[in-house]
Amino acid sequence: METISFRNADKTFLFPNKTGLKNFIELLVKKENRTLLELTYVFCSDEYLLGINKDFLQHDYYTDIITFDLSENPKQTIGEIYVSLDRIKDNAKELQTSIKEETLRVIFHGALHLCGYKDKAKSDIATMRKKEEYYIKLYNAGGVSRGK
């Protein structure tokens, strides 16, 4: 069984170098002092994720990501991360960034949640954004290939 898997619900995730991205996510989790046991990303539409948001969180609004931490040990990481490709596209346009950058931000955001980072309080949001930016820059600099 793969440690990290990418699944498609009702949308297809097309990203170059999926193996490199998976390796980088493993690096991210390791750098955050966690042991990665299993992580599944499920790529979907706004409507699909809205259904999950309503059914599991009782929230009636669109979101870009929902993370389910299935870990029993706080130092180990097991989780499912649902990602709306529709939200990524809209967010990229609104934030005037590329779809690739926004996709990386959301993917790393979910992994950071599983490493214990929150994003409800202003200070937590600021910390989360700094971590996202750090890992995006490291990824874009070839952090995987150099084993950083």
Q: Encode 81-140 in three state secondary structure.
A: EEEEHHHHHHHHHHHCCCHHHHHHHHHHHHHHHHCCCCCCCHHHHHHHHHHHHHHHHHHH
Residue spans per domain, the chain: 4-140
How many secondary structure helices (H) and strands (E) does the chain include?
5, 4
Query: Any idea which fold 4-140 has?
Result: Collagenase (Catalytic Domain) (3.40.390)
Q: Note the pLDDT of residue 148.
A: 43
Report the Cα 30 to chain-centroid distance in Å: 15
pLDDT, tens digit (0-9, with 9 covering 90-100), for 77-104: 999 999 999 999 999 999 999 999 999 9
pLDDT, tens digit (0-9, with 9 covering 90-100), for 62-83: 999 999 999 999 889 999 999 9
Share of the chain above pLDDT 90, in %: 86
pTM exceeds 0.75: yes
